[in-house]
Structure 1
Amino acid sequence: MATLTMRPYQGETDLQPIVNLLNTCEAIDREDIYYTVSSLKLELTSPNLRPELDVKLWYNDADQLIGFGQIWLPDPMVDEVDAYLWFRVHPTLRHQGLEQDIITWAEGRTWQVGQEQNLPAKLSLSCRDYQRNQIGLFEATGFTWERSFFRMKRSLTEPIPEPIFPKGYTLLTGQEFEVSAWVEMHNQTFIDHWNFHPMTLEQANHWLSDPTYRPDLDLVAVAPDGTYAAFCHNHIDPEENQHRKCLEGWVGMLGTRRGYRRLGLGRAMLLSGLHRLQAAGMDTAFLGVDSQNPNQAYSLYESVGFRRVYSSFCYSKAIE
Structure 2
Amino acid sequence: MLIVSIRPYAGDSDLEAIADLINICEKVDRLDEGTSISELQQEFNQPSRDLARDICLWEDASGKLIGFALLSISEPGEVIDGSLWFRVHPDARCGDVEAAAVAWGETRMHEVAQEWGARVKLRSGARAQNADRISVLESCGFIVDRYFCRMARSLSEPIAEPQLPEGFALRLFPREEDAEAWVEMFNQSFIDHWNHHDLTVELFKHGLTQPSYRKDLDLIAVAADGTFAAFCYCEISQEECDRTGRNEGWIACLGTRRGFRKIGLGRAMLLAGLQRLKAAGVETAILGVDTANPSGALRLYESAGFHKIRDSISYVKDV
Give TM-score scaled by structure 2 length: 0.97
Match of 1:235 in 2: 235
Q: Helix, strand or coil for the counterpart of 1:315? A: strand
Shift of 1:175: 4.9
Q: Is 1:56 aligned to residue 56 of structure 2? A: yes
Q: Helix, strand or coil for the counterpart of 1:23? A: helix
Shift of 1:176: 4.7
Match of 2:195 in 1: 195
Match of 1:155 in 2: 154
Counterpart CA distance in 2 for 1:116 and 1:318 is 17
Shift of 1:150: 1.0
Q: Helix, strand or coil for the counterpart of 1:110? A: helix
Residue type of the partner of 2:69? G
Q: Helix, strand or coil for the counterpart of 1:52? A: coil
Shift of 1:251: 0.5
Q: 5+ residue gaps in structure 1? A: none
What is the percent sequence identity of the aligned residues?
Answer: 46
Shift of 1:115: 1.8
Q: Is 1:223 aligned to residue 248 of structure 2? A: no
In the alignment, is the contact (CA less than 8 A) between 2:143 and 2:316 conserved in 1? yes
Match of 1:119 in 2: 118
Q: Is 1:129 aligned to residue 131 of structure 2? A: no
Q: Helix, strand or coil for the counterpart of 2:137? A: helix
Counterpart CA distance in 2 for 1:231 and 1:52 is 35
Shift of 1:24: 0.9
Structure 1's 96 and 294: CA in aligned 2 closer, same or farther, altered over 3 A? closer
Counterpart CA distance in 2 for 1:22 and 1:114 is 30
Counterpart CA distance in 2 for 1:48 and 1:253 is 22
Query: After superposition, what is the alpha-carbon deviation per residue over 1:77-111, rounded to whole angstroms, capped at 9, x for unaligned?
Result: 21122111000001111124110011111111111
In the alignment, is the contact (CA less than 8 A) between 1:48 and 1:74 conserved in 2? no
Counterpart CA distance in 1 for 2:309 and 2:97 is 30
Match of 1:93 in 2: 92
Q: Helix, strand or coil for the counterpart of 2:53? A: helix
Residue type of the partner of 2:223? A
Q: How does 1:64-79 map to 2 (within 5 A)?
A: 64-75=64-75, 77-79=76-78
Q: Is 1:172 aligned to residue 171 of structure 2? A: yes
Counterpart CA distance in 2 for 1:239 and 1:5 is 32
Counterpart CA distance in 2 for 1:130 and 1:150 is 12
Residue type of the partner of 1:79? E
Counterpart CA distance in 1 for 2:236 and 2:17 is 24
Counterpart CA distance in 2 for 1:207 and 1:109 is 26
Residue type of the partner of 1:14? D
Q: After alignment, is 296-305 or 117-126 more displaced?
A: 117-126
Q: Helix, strand or coil for the counterpart of 1:59? A: strand
Q: Alignment RMSD, CA only?
A: 1.2
Query: After superposition, what is the alpha-carbon deviation per residue over 1:204-242, rounded to whole angstroms, capped at 9, x for unaligned?
Result: 011111111111011111011100000001000111112
Counterpart CA distance in 2 for 1:28 and 1:212 is 27
Q: 5+ residue gaps in structure 2? A: none
Shift of 1:2: 2.7
Shift of 1:16: 1.7
Counterpart CA distance in 1 for 2:245 and 2:238 is 10
Residue type of the partner of 1:147? R
Shift of 1:284: 0.5
Q: After alignment, is 165-174 or 285-294 more displaced?
A: 165-174
Q: After alignment, is 167-176 or 301-310 more displaced?
A: 167-176
Q: Which runs of 4+ in 1 moved over 3 A?
A: 174-177
In the alignment, is the contact (CA less than 8 A) between 1:143 and 1:317 conserved in 2? yes
In the alignment, is the contact (CA less than 8 A) between 1:85 and 1:125 conserved in 2? yes
